[in-house]
Amino acid sequence: MGRLRYLTAGESHGPALTVIVEGMVAGLPVSAREIDRQLARRQQGYGRGGRMRIENDRVTVLAGVRGGETTGGPVCLQVANRDWPNWAPVMAPGEEAVLTEKQVTAPRPGHADLPGALKYGHQDIRNVLERASARETAARVAAGALAHRLLAELQVAVYSHVVAIGGVRNREGLPADWSAADWAAFAARVEGSPVRCAGKAAEAQMMQAIDRAKAGGDSLGGIIELITLGLPVGLGSHVHGDRRLDGRIAGSLMAIPGIKGVEIGLGFAATELPGSQVHDEIYYAASRGFYRETNRAGGIEGGMTNGEPVVVRVAMKPIPTLLKPLHTVDLTSRQPVKAAVERSDTCAVPAAAVVAEAVLALVLADAVLAVTGGDHLAQVVQRAGRLNRC
């Protein structure tokens, strides 16, 4: 278990989502406006559904921050659900709740509905889907905003972009010798894209694919790539499996709703190549220290950062709520029916990229704190400056 931990609570149509972040150093500047900016990024993207027209996420800082800086105590953040007044009679926590309204008994294939209902003994699947909803990721993005800020203090940046949606792939590669200005321009292009894709031709084709899926009552998944620049050498460790950074990254990203695969560097493509085309040769120059001409390992070797950019890709499946629902079996009658339909998106891959950024930032921030120690931001910055960098 790492030093930096977070715990979320709340339902999709409950009063609010709450997250407690424990282990954050004191002295970290925190701005509700910056957290709100991250929350707004999560709500964007071509293919989003009606919920995004209702919610306009804003954070309320409840604890752990005073005078614009963290105190060292647990930070508590809350994001209100604006749709709550419409659901209060159904979702009320007390005996006043009208449990007979908006019941769900037709589990959706691909969702937590059926296994969750069977595991917890629920007859109304709403008790499962309200918590299993990807709406919960708003709380993770709020927590991730703190991690982003800590990494920024150390000159570390996490970028994301969409590589593919529904079989449409962006074939434009990312040069290995980009300057800081090049990366800034790339980030601006991605932020300006409705599908978070830097390639204009692929962007248009992705949007067309989403339109076709929506017209057919279907949904689409895709592939997201995350690139982290500026990390020191040696985050993570080879000595125990649970301290390997690649394992922690993969586990955390796989825990995002809808993510079904994670690869680092070449990933699965490495299985098709000989070792001479997989492993990154090592060089040394007095002006830059140890370095590589390639980054097929994705910046991690032996469970540790090696000084190169950390490159991670995640695969997101299509959303299981379909406007043209699939066949299922009613939980109560055991008769064949069509799956339940909740308000949903056609494609949430661009939004998932922002969530993945936040989750990755939390893992990396924890890895940094593990090697620097310190209880105040100034201590972390000072000690991080002494870490090995290629």
Q: What CATH number has the domain bearing residue 316?
A: 3.60.150.10
Asked if residue 113 is part of any domain, the answer here is: yes
- Is the pLDDT reported for residue 127 higher than 80? yes
Positive or negative CA dihedral for 186, 290, 307, 316?
positive
- Is the pLDDT reported for residue 244 higher than 90? yes
pLDDT range class, residue 48, cuts 50, 70, 90 = confident
Strand, coil or helix: 88: helix
Averaged confidence pLDDT in the chain: 94
Asked if residue 11 is part of any domain, the answer here is: yes
Number of domains in the chain: 1
pLDDT confidence of residue 50:
59
Residue 356 dihedral angles phi and psi, to the nearest 5°? -65, -40
| Residue 72, amino acid | G
Query: Comparing C-alpha atoms, which of 230, 227, 220, 246 is closest to residue 173?
Result: 227
CB within 8 Å of 108: residues ≥ 6 apart: 320, 321, 322, 325, 326, 328, 339, 340
pLDDT confidence of residue 51:
55
Asked if residue 389 is part of any domain, the answer here is: no
CA 1 to chain centre: 20
pLDDT range class, residue 149, cuts 50, 70, 90 = very high
Query: Comparing C-alpha atoms, which of 386, 380, 361, 359 is closest to residue 154?
Result: 380
Please give the helix or strand (H or E) that residue 165 lies within, else none: strand 157-165
The domain in which residue 16 lies consists of 5-384
Instruction: Say whether pTM exceeds 0.85.
Output: yes
Asked if residue 190 is part of any domain, the answer here is: yes
- Is the pLDDT reported for residue 272 higher than 70? yes
Asked if residue 390 is part of any domain, the answer here is: no
pLDDT range class, residue 53, cuts 50, 70, 90 = low
Assigned token pair, 359: 């989750």
- Alpha-carbon distance 137 to 80, whole Å? 13
What is the pLDDT averaged over residues 212-227? 96
pLDDT confidence of residue 39:
97
